[in-house]
Structure 1
């Protein structure tokens, strides 16, 4: 993967104590959280598709516990305090005037983050860290393809908003029609919504089938995708081996992996 497609800073990102100001369920599985805090005055928006860490409280605790100190990168907590856990999300929108940061969270099985989201309420306090990463879309493409499953849609929306005025194909895979929703600053007819139900398809299968059945335009194109890690690798391999797309013209992200909890960041499928 070429250096200009991915940024990999190694310094510890800044952390911002924030309070949930508003929480709205957009679909049965997706909630929009508006986070607020005076320290967000130092938040610096990153490139499209960047990510932040949300540091969330352990089960049974309302607010994220603060460490007593840090020993290098490791936080040290008071005796008897259960440490928080971290999960990765897209900073969807940042308002410097109101010091608000919007994040979309997904109910994703019986996971710690999903269980926290079910009980989250306005007034609860957590910590946001970042942002990092992201992608500045090259402006020399003749066409662009954006692929995302449930977990990658917020980042995909940012990528779509940053593309030049060229032909764009956007395929978004979700569980069923109830998860389809209006997307900010994206034309209603742009994303093609694909559903796993009622057929009971495995995550990534609808996207993979749609890509294999599609016709790519002529000329120089770029593909950005964020989805289940196994499906991402199969689509990436297909585009390289069967379609002749150059690896440097793709940004591929495995946001999660079937059968795995807390899939690590930085899975680009390039091994």
Structure 2
């Protein structure tokens, strides 16, 4: 038995849910007894290199710790080391020991998108998590429960995480979702007990990251009185701008905003972090330490 939540998952089903999003369902005996404790639960996925039947990952035993495992992973030659990307678990079915992920099908496909486009039943994928190593300083459900209203904003990449939050909203909880997508064909239906208002923003021919539709919509939005909680996700630069707007111009306390830069314009997760990335990481660390000490 592994001491770390490292899984080898096998594709059991693929489906196209919109023109630009595919859902991949994977199963494993390792998932027996698995449960999702929170919405927007992220994991690390490991994609095999071209020609590999499965991702090349270090063995994890009962005595393996995270640092030694990651050092072994980093020691794998770069041309053989699996591509690693962060993804949100879209759904979990305990009856079939399976979990599902939604993949945005970008025009300029990276390794994760390429894998999703070509995925077929029986293909193998590695996963790390969910785990407390990635846990928020404060549970997302607690932040939602304490707020009078919830603001959700993001682009295509944010939809899987956003959908899990929407589906977990308490009955009657007022929520506003702003979602930037290419066109009406990429709209999805959300099922929730919350009082949800969804605004779909169509960027048309503009490539992701080159539209200001989301920013303009948030700036123009009339938000209710009372204590709000905001969840922002998508392209890192756009998320930072939205966060600054909410704190500087709307007066939302920083601790009431959960934000994630899922991707970076012209950069991938394989590229070195920018100065803004490092500053953001430092701020997150400071907030986590403050939450623990408080």
Bucket of the pairwise TM-score, normalised by the shorter protein: 0.7 to 0.9
Q: Would you say 1:142 and 2:131 are equivalent positions?
A: no
Moved more, 127-136 or 146-155: 127-136
Q: Deviations over 1:121-154 (max 9, x none)?
A: 1111111210143622342322111112111111
Q: Deviations over 1:93-140 (max 9, x none)?
A: 112221011111112323111122222111111112101436223423
Find the counterpart in structure 2 of residue 99 from structure 1: 97
Summarize the Cα distance change of 1:39–1:144 in structure 2 as closer, same or farther, 3 Å threshold: same
Find the counterpart in structure 2 of residue 118 from structure 1: 117
Q: Would you say 1:157 and 2:154 are equivalent positions?
A: no
Does the CA contact (< 8 Å) of 1:182 and 1:188 recur in 2? no
Offset, 1:78: 8.5
Does the CA contact (< 8 Å) of 1:107 and 1:114 recur in 2? yes
Does the CA contact (< 8 Å) of 1:148 and 1:172 recur in 2? yes
Q: Deviations over 1:187-218 (max 9, x none)?
A: 99732111111466744611100011111111
SS at match of 2:50: coil
Q: Would you say 1:192 and 2:183 are equivalent positions?
A: no
Find the counterpart in structure 1 of residue 12 from structure 2: 21
Aligned match of 1:46 in 33, 37, 44? 37
SS at match of 1:88: strand
Moved more, 74-83 or 53-62: 74-83
Q: Would you say 1:228 and 2:222 are equivalent positions?
A: no
Find the counterpart in structure 2 of residue 3 from structure 1: none
Find the counterpart in structure 2 of residue 206 from structure 1: 213
Structure 2 length as normaliser, TM-score? 0.78
Matched residues, number: 260
SS at match of 1:74: helix
In structure 2, what is the Cα distance between the partners aligned to 1:128 and 1:170? 29
Moved more, 261-270 or 177-186: 261-270
Offset, 1:268: 6.6
Gaps of 5+ in 1: 1-11
Q: Say which structure is richer in helix.
A: 2
Summarize the Cα distance change of 1:260–1:79 in structure 2 as closer, same or farther, 3 Å threshold: closer
Q: Deviations over 1:38-86 (max 9, x none)?
A: 1111534231112011111012334223436785423368999822111
Structure 1 length as normaliser, TM-score? 0.84
In structure 1, what is the Cα distance between the partners aligned to 2:7 and 2:192? 27
SS at match of 2:129: strand
SS at match of 1:75: helix
